[in-house]
Amino acid sequence: MEPVKCIFCNPDPSIIIARNAHAYARFDKYPVNPGHILIIPHRHISTPFELTDEERVGIWDLLTEMREMVMNRYHPDGFNIGVNLGEAAGQTIGHLHVHLIPRYGGDTKNPRGGVRGVIPEKQDYSVEK
């Protein structure tokens, strides 16, 4: 049986919008909102806990650079930054990638709780249950 090829390990250069020595950035193929970007380390690892200090800085530098680009091009009202780790958390690709998701006023009925919305009944923590 042939090993499964990782779609993030050897990307088509035409989809890369920025890069540094440790990671690259590309638009998400299935964006949550306009301007949704992925930051992907060059090294094939599954979790951020495997990152070297230099890789961590490289990823954060690209996040900062891409935030500026998205602000200038798409003018969002906010951002979510996230990583899915493990099948139970929704990870579908075994190569670490960080989502930079622009948020726009009105893109969801109630954004309160942000990433807590991955479990909808836990999103609004202001309501006593």
Tell me the pLDDT tens digit for each residue of 83-100. 999 999 999 999 999 999
Average pLDDT rounded to a whole number, residues 70-79? 98
**pTM as predicted:** 0.90
Catalytic residues: 97
What does pLDDT average to over the chain?
92
- Using the predicted structure, report yes or no on whether residue 2 has a pLDDT greater than 60: no
CA nearest to 26, candidates 17, 35, 36, 14: 17
Q: Give yes or no for a contact between 31 and 104, defined as CB atoms under 8 angstroms apart.
A: no
Listing from the earlier edge strand, what are the strands of the sheet with 16-19? 16-19, 23-27, 37-41, 98-103, 78-82
pLDDT band at 4 (very low <50, low <70, confident <90, very high): low
